Homo-oligomer: A and B are copies of this chain.
Amino acid sequence: MRVNKVQELWEKSQTVIGGWLTIPSGFSAEIMAHQDWDVLTIDMQHGLVDASALVPMLTAISTTNVIPFVRVPWLEAGIIMKVLDAGSYGVICPMINTREDAERFVSYCRYAPQGTRSFGPSRAVLYAGEDYAQHANSTVLTFAMIETRQALDNLEDIVSVKGLDAVFVGPSDLGLSLGYVPGNFEEPVLNEAIETILKTAQSQGIRAGIYTLTPEFARRMIELGFDFVVISSDARLMVTQAQKILSELRL
């Protein structure tokens, strides 16, 4: 089975740098996959990506060595198993708030006896190889999003669920849940929570990732010790550069 480069990088203690895909287009995904990302996450939750765009985007990423992840819309078995069958090497699941949420999530991602994933890796065998079934349980990564006060309260319970590979911080929702405006990443309480999540994950021996929105925030999180840092999305990159050029030209 094709190795999961993310695991290799982690074994070498390197931070995994990720991009984020919200535009439902294989061409856009292929362009992004030619940049220097380790991972590209297709966002089926807040991105405009639906199931019909998923496969062309995964295929486009598969033309390169970038590892494809998918953020699923919700903790729903149907779509989680579908993105795995389509060849995703990591699943980021939003709103994991309790131990039971985490257990269900892991269960959907693992074949028996570790879980209840149904067998039929149609495109995954094309991407990963014919021995996919034997190695999928230990190669495909599971990320539980920690993004509410409730999740913080249940953090120890969540990170100790067997088969969970990592937590992933959604700072906007976490801030919102703590009472702050989305996009405000300066609040000490929020930053404290982020550190707590990182340390709790580390204490349990699992990995921690985070979504950031500015290079500065990203750099801070890398320094803090996060294993997986998402830097920016296709749409944000485009908008940032457009605004820069146009504001200069329009002077």
Contact residues in B for A32 (Cβ distance below 8 Å): 238, 242
| A240 on interface, CB distance cutoff 8 Å | yes
Question: How long is the Cα–Cα vector from A19 to B19 in the complex, in angstroms?
Answer: 24
Partner of A48, one of B111, B122, B240: B122
Partner of A133, one of B45, B52, B182, B241: B182
Q: Which residue of B lies closest to A246 (CB)?
A: B36
Given A73-B78, A126-B31, A237-B242, verify A248-B215 contact (CB < 8 Å).
Answer: yes
| A239 on interface, CB distance cutoff 8 Å | yes
Contact residues in B for A120 (Cβ distance below 8 Å): 45-46, 172
| A12 on interface, CB distance cutoff 8 Å | no
B231→A249 contact, CB < 8 A: yes
| A9 on interface, CB distance cutoff 8 Å | no
Contact residues in B for A231 (Cβ distance below 8 Å): 245-246, 249
Partner of A79, one of B55, B62, B78: B78
Which one of A22, A120, A243 has the greatest number of beta carbons of chain B within 10 Å?
A120
Question: How long is the Cα–Cα vector from A235 to B29 in the complex, in angstroms?
Answer: 10
| A94 on interface, CB distance cutoff 8 Å | yes
Question: How long is the Cα–Cα vector from A170 to B120 in the complex, in angstroms?
Answer: 10
| A47 on interface, CB distance cutoff 8 Å | yes
Q: Which stretch from A80-88, A192-200, A201-209 is at the chain B interface?
A: A80-88
| A185 on interface, CB distance cutoff 8 Å | no
Q: Which stretch from A98-106, A152-160, A161-169, A173-181 is at the chain B interface?
A: A173-181
Binary per-residue interface labels of chain A (219-251) against chain B in the complex, 1 for a CB within 8 Å, 0 otherwise:
100100000000110110111111111111110
| A50 on interface, CB distance cutoff 8 Å | yes
User: What residues make up the interface of A, taking CB atoms closer than 8 Å to B?
Assistant: 17, 19, 22-28, 30-32, 34-37, 45-48, 50-56, 59-60, 62-63, 72-74, 76-79, 81-82, 85-86, 94-95, 111-113, 116, 118-123, 126-127, 133-134, 147-148, 170, 172-173, 176-177, 179, 181-182, 215, 218-219, 222, 231-232, 234-235, 237-250
Q: A27-B48, A35-B239, A238-B238 are in contact. List 20 more A-B contacts (CB 8 A).
A: A19-B242, A23-B23, A26-B59, A35-B242, A36-B250, A45-B78, A46-B118, A50-B51, A59-B63, A62-B63, A63-B63, A63-B127, A72-B78, A73-B79, A73-B82, A74-B76, A76-B77, A119-B173, A218-B249, A219-B249
